[in-house]
Chain A
């Protein structure tokens, strides 16, 4: 599991930024004129795309590859889904979108670190077959 401060900081920062930005954009794009299910699906795809672009443009060169891309895309997907669904039911202020998005980014950061602490190390090949 990653313990070097530079990379832990990078993981946290990139999740906060990706989540905040996706939340902000989804709060701006979606409104009560959207059907809730369609807003949720479109928001999820839009969130993943925005998170991927932010990751490649800002964080990939500095902090890693899969270790940055996968958590950030998960953050983008979840934030896109939640904020767009909420915005289709009632108005979501931009600042709320930003804050809630960053909060989800933080939660994803914690979840990934918990998963990583369980999964890192040797794979039991007799149990899993391939590990893939």
Chain B
């Protein structure tokens, strides 16, 4: 278990909803709702955080959620319990998941791989638990190709990573490096906030 990342998000858990629920989450709601509308089969969702995204999931699904932070999961518990379907939440590190190989039909992530310390190995762990031919859909913010945004995000990353995410990740490239085939990238804000769809080759 990566205790540094766990402790960072444990510390943020109390104020997390206050920080993001009115601004960022409301802003991203249409794009996330559209992404989650594709959910079907046995689903792995990470990282659950305080469970703000649960309200956007279609009902009646079988969803397994993980998060590295037990304090975040404490906050999420009422939302998990209220979900109209089958939902379980585990405290687990993506680098070290206890699921069997080929366990899930689909994987969803939301603002996750800006914070996973070793993103390519984290994505390889996801490839292990996803069935061959399975789909991974991600809502992520990444670095930008545009100057001066890329410069600004490189400057901000050492600050932002102290209490939260890194701003300059190359998540699409990381998804490819982990063995997935990227089939669709959809820009939500500039080339920074985006949805990524990738398949695991059979």
Q: List residues of A whose CB falls within 8 A of some B CB.
A: 2, 7, 48, 52, 59-70, 73-74, 77, 112, 115-116, 119-123, 125, 130-132
Which of B23, B143, B146, B182 has the largest count of A CB atoms less than 10 A from its CB? B23
- Complex CA gap A101/B85 in Å reads 52
Task: State which of B38-46, B70-78, B88-96, B189-197 sits at the interface with chain A.
Answer: B189-197
Q: List residues of B whose CB falls within 8 A of some A CB.
A: 18-20, 22-24, 27, 141-146, 148-149, 152-153, 155-156, 159, 170-173, 176, 182-194
- B23 to A65, Cβ gap below 8 A? yes
- B155 to A65, Cβ gap below 8 A? no
- A61 to B23, Cβ gap below 8 A? yes
- A116 to B182, Cβ gap below 8 A? no
Q: Top 10 A-B pairs ranked by shortest CB distance?
A: A65-B24, A123-B185, A64-B27, A130-B172, A131-B185, A132-B170, A64-B23, A130-B173, A73-B152, A63-B23
Residues of chain B with a CB closer than 8 A to A67's CB: 27, 189, 193
**Chain B nearest CB, measured from A11 CB (Å):** 10
Q: Which residue of B lies closest to A67 (CB)?
A: B189
Residues of chain B with a CB closer than 8 A to A65's CB: 20, 23-24, 27, 141
Residues of chain B with a CB closer than 8 A to A74's CB: 148-149, 152
Q: Which residue of B lies closest to A63 (CB)?
A: B23
- A131 to B23, Cβ gap below 8 A? no
- Complex CA gap A122/B191 in Å reads 10
Q: Which residue of A lies closest to B173 (CB)?
A: A130
Q: Which residue of B lies closest to A112 (CB)?
A: B190
Chain A, interface SS category: helix
- Complex CA gap A112/B18 in Å reads 27
- A60 to B143, Cβ gap below 8 A? no
Residues of chain A with a CB closer than 8 A to B187's CB: 119-123, 131
**Chain B nearest CB, measured from A118 CB (Å):** 9
- B23 to A132, Cβ gap below 8 A? no
Name 13 A/B residue pairs within 8 A (Cβ), A-sorted. A2-B27, A48-B152, A60-B23, A62-B23, A65-B141, A69-B156, A70-B153, A70-B192, A116-B190, A120-B189, A122-B186, A130-B170, A130-B185
- B152 to A132, Cβ gap below 8 A? no
- Complex CA gap A115/B187 in Å reads 12
- A115 to B190, Cβ gap below 8 A? yes
Residues of chain A with a CB closer than 8 A to B193's CB: 66-67
- B190 to A132, Cβ gap below 8 A? no
- Complex CA gap A88/B178 in Å reads 51
Residue of B146, B189, B191 near A123 (CB, 8 A) is B191
**Chain B nearest CB, measured from A15 CB (Å):** 15
- B155 to A131, Cβ gap below 8 A? no
Would A132 and B191 be within 8 Å (CB), given that A63-B23, A122-B184, A122-B186 are in contact?
A: yes
